[in-house]
Amino acid sequence: MKKILLTVVSLLMIQTIGWAQNQYIHCGTLIDGTGATPQKEMTVVISDKKITEVKKGYLTPPNGTELIDLKDQTVMPGFIDLHVHLENETSADNYLKRFTLNEADVAFDAVVYAKRTLMAGFTTVRDVGGSGVNIALKKAIKAGKVIGPRIYTSGKSLAITGGHADPTNGYKRELMGNPGPKEGVVNSVEDAKKAVRQRYKNGADLIKITATGGVLSVASDGDGAHFSEKEIAAIVEAAKDLGFHVAAHAHGDEGMQRAIKNGVKTIEHGTYMSEETMKLMKQYNAYYIPTITAGDFVAQKAAVKGYYPVVVAKKAAVIGPKISDTFGKAYKMGVNIGFGTDAGVFPHGENAREFELMVEAGMTPMDAIVSATKTNAFILEKSDQFGQLKAGLFADIVAVKGDPLKDISVLKKVSFVMKEGVVYKMEDE
Report the distance separating Cα 99 and Cα 414, nearest Å: 36
On the question of pLDDT at 97 being above 60, the answer is yes
How much is the average pLDDT of 149-165?
94
On the question of pLDDT at 20 being above 80, the answer is no
> Regarding predicted confidence, which is higher, 173 or 328?
328
On the question of pLDDT at 348 being above 80, the answer is yes
Strand partners, 77: 397
Which pLDDT tens digit goes with each residue over 35-88?
999 999 999 999 999 999 999 999 999 998 999 999 999 999 999 999 999 999
pLDDT of res. 115:
98
pLDDT of res. 21:
65
- Residue 222, classified by CB atoms within 10 Å of its CB into exposed (0-12), middle (13-18) or buried (19+), is buried
- Residue 173, classified by CB atoms within 10 Å of its CB into exposed (0-12), middle (13-18) or buried (19+), is exposed
pLDDT averaged over every residue in the chain: 93
Which pLDDT tens digit goes with each residue over 190-226?
999 999 999 999 999 999 999 999 998 888 888 899 9
On the question of pLDDT at 269 being above 90, the answer is yes
pLDDT of res. 346:
98
Q: How sure is the predictor about 413, in pLDDT bands with cuts at 50, 70 and 90?
A: very high
Q: C-alpha 195: how far from its chain's center?
A: 23
pTM of the entire predicted model:
0.94
Of 93, 77, 80, 84, the residue nearest 31 (C-alpha): 77
Of 186, 110, 102, 100, the residue nearest 149 (C-alpha): 110
On the question of pLDDT at 170 being above 90, the answer is no
Residues of the chain with pLDDT > 90: what percent? 86
Q: Report all structural domains of the chain as residue ranges with CATH numbers, in order of start.
A: 2-78+388-428 (2.30.40.10), 79-379 (3.20.20.140)
On the question of pLDDT at 8 being above 60, the answer is no
Of 144, 128, 133, 119, the residue nearest 49 (C-alpha): 144
